[in-house]
Chains A and B, each alone.
Chain A
Amino acid sequence: MVEFLQFTLSGISFGMIYAAIALSLVLIWRGTRLLNFAQGGMAMFTTYIALEVVRHTGSYWAGFAVALAAGVVLGAVAELAVIRPTLGKPELNAVIITIGLLILLEGLAGILYGGQYRSFPAAFSVIGLKAGSTPLGVSRSDVFVAVAVLAAALLLAIGFRYTSAGLRMRAAAFNATVARLSGIRVARVITVGWALAGLLGALAGVLVSPSTFLYPNSMDSIFVFGFTAAVIGGLDSPAGAVVGGLLLGVVLSYAGGYLGSQGSDLTALVALGILVVVLMFRPDGIFAGARVRRV
């Protein structure tokens, strides 16, 4: 029972990282119907920037804040510089551009910072918490990870639901034609969506890197699990992204915990299994709304 609790809490912590990546993918998908394969690369790059700031200032929080700001800028610049020119062209163009952007960022990180593994500091202690004498399997740092992503998701949800800017974003995502005809500058809304996605990716990068180390490809596997979480939850659903991330994180934690050393090797296979099962019964993801097809 104690093990189960430990694996669950640990899974929630990692699941929140997947949820952050999934949320960033959903934000872009809803606005542009595009999967941003560079999302992990962008998160990796902003984490390198954070590491530089931490080294120069000695302040984790300065690095944290700069990483988030860099994520916003990188997201907006990527949309304006390389994605917008593909508007009105075949969808595959933009997909290939994002893959190219990923290769560019990973190559650039290798040139600037080298390919070696670097440790990234955690915001809080990584020593496991205990309930009495029973270890819980999570640290203060893990709790911070969960709280930070949950707070970001809640802020996004409140912003989308209760502000004019959020209504603009939802209108643009659901029906760009009507939104434009109503005076909403959809192109600007899409840029804001990319900026927010960049912020979430940067958040995921600084939160996961204390556990995974930082190197040019360090976010690749995190991106794959984040993408899986987004598909499981439904690419159109922010709530689905969070639930998909948590589900994936917890199940992978059980697999890694209960299957021993083999479990760690099987995580990708387990993720694929979950994906297949969900898509068999809910092809558009768990949280996809009912679609009306005109015949």
Chain B
Amino acid sequence: MSLFKKITESQIWRSIFRHRFEDTPRNRALATVSNAFLHLHPVTLPESALRVRFTFCLGGLTFFMFLVETVTGILLMFYYRPVTEYAYLDMKLLEHTVRFGMFLRNMHRWAGHAMVILVMLHMLRVFLTGSYKPPREFNWVVGVCLLVTTLLLSFTGYLLPWDQIALWAITVGTKMAGATPFLGADGPFHEWLHVHPGNDMRFFLLGDSDVSGNALLRFYVLHCVLLPVVGGFLMFVHFWRVRKDGGISRPL
């Protein structure tokens, strides 16, 4: 018995891979359904659903960017402390003392931008192909929530380097929250609810009346825990509904 055969027929191997290598329809089907990751796909699909020039892989690539962000983000967390004393220093250390540290940060930053661009283009593709129409209405709404989550993920990450770009971008961005009608200290009708800079919408986002250490910690937790969980949850629903609402859209 050859070594190859010995390995592939061992109990360990066969406990992991539930089907053989022969190219049979049964094995092709099993490759999808017996794999936790691939079983997101249908076993078979119409040939017309495979056209790259229909989807341009935009949704799939957006998800791939999310995976890249997860991997590079977890690695970055080993080197980053979300307090004002260290955040900026850690950026510098990442650049100068961590091997491939700069590459890691670049990858995380550019994949983040790519994810925002791709999710917007994906929405355009879905719109232009009429794929939001019945029976896919609800999945379009889930997609809109994912678009917002993506933007918030990127926005919260923007503060973390704690440099001048970060501080002032977030200052500008959160200033808008202070203008919320009724709920922002600079918004119309705020006095009706006794809203002031110490209890308004902006304070809620920043944990302070200015962008400070509290905001840094808040954005860090949002960026690394809360929003990825929300995004993951929405993606789970989104992908499942693609399947349940008739698969990827195509001419009827």
Partners in one complex: no
Question: A: which residues have CB within 8 A of B?
Answer: none
